[in-house]
Amino acid sequence: MRRSGILLASALLAFAAKAATAGSLDFWENSRGAEDVTAHFPTGTAQVAEIYFDADSAETGGLVFGATEMEFRATGSVDFTGFQCGLAGCNAADWAMGPTTKEPFEFVRVNDSDTEEKHGLYHMGTITFDGPQQPGSMFLYGCNYTTLDYVERTCTQFVVVQLPEPARASALLAGAALLVGLCARRRAR
C-alpha cells in the first residue's frame, strides 16, 4: 500500500473511531434512585419510574441539541404498561413503545426534537410498568447525542431499575443472627 493510501486509511479510521465514542451522559430513575445509582423497586403492579438525564454530564458539559434514540428495555418480569413524555414539545411522533411485530421485546424509545443547546437536568418522561415477581430490570439500552465540540457519542448502558428491592435491615440482621447461631453450634460439636 502506498504512503498516501495509508494516510487516508488512518484518517478515516480516526474519524470513524471518534464518531463511535461511548459517552458519559447520565440517565437515572429519580424517585428511588439517583445519578449513577440503580433504583430498587419492590415487586408489584402499577410501578412508576421517573426518568431524568443531566445534559451537563456529557463530556463537554452540555449538548448541542436533544439526544436521540434514547431506548429503555425491560428484562425478566418487568412489563412496560405506559409512557408519558416529559420533554418540552414532545408529541406522539417523538416516542414509541413496544413490543411490536418487528421488535418483539419490551422497549420505550424517545427522540428529543429540541434543536436548542441543552444544559442541566431534564425529565425525559414517566414509564409505568408491572413487575409482579423477581427478577426483573429496566435498563438504558442506548442513545445518541452530540457534545458541544460536535462529536457524536453513544450512551453507556446502565441498569436504571432493578427488582427486587434490597432486603430490609431487620431481615439482614435476622440472617446474620442465624449464621452466628449456626457457627456457634458447629464449634460446640
Q: What is the pLDDT of residue 134?
A: 84
Q: What is the pLDDT of residue 8?
A: 41
Mean pLDDT per 10-residue interval, the chain, length 189 residues: 45 39 84 91 94 95 95 95 95 94 93 94 96 92 96 94 69 52 55
How far is residue 110's CA from residue 75's CA, in Å, rounded to a whole number? Answer: 19
Contact of 76 with 136, CB cutoff 8 Å = yes
Domain 22-188 has CATH 1.10.287.70: no
Q: What is the pLDDT of residue 164?
A: 83
Closest by Cα among 27, 102, 36, 29 to 69: 27
Cell of 19: 464518531
CA angle (122, 151, 72) in 5-degree steps: 45
Cell of 42: 419492590
Predicted structure pTM score: 0.75
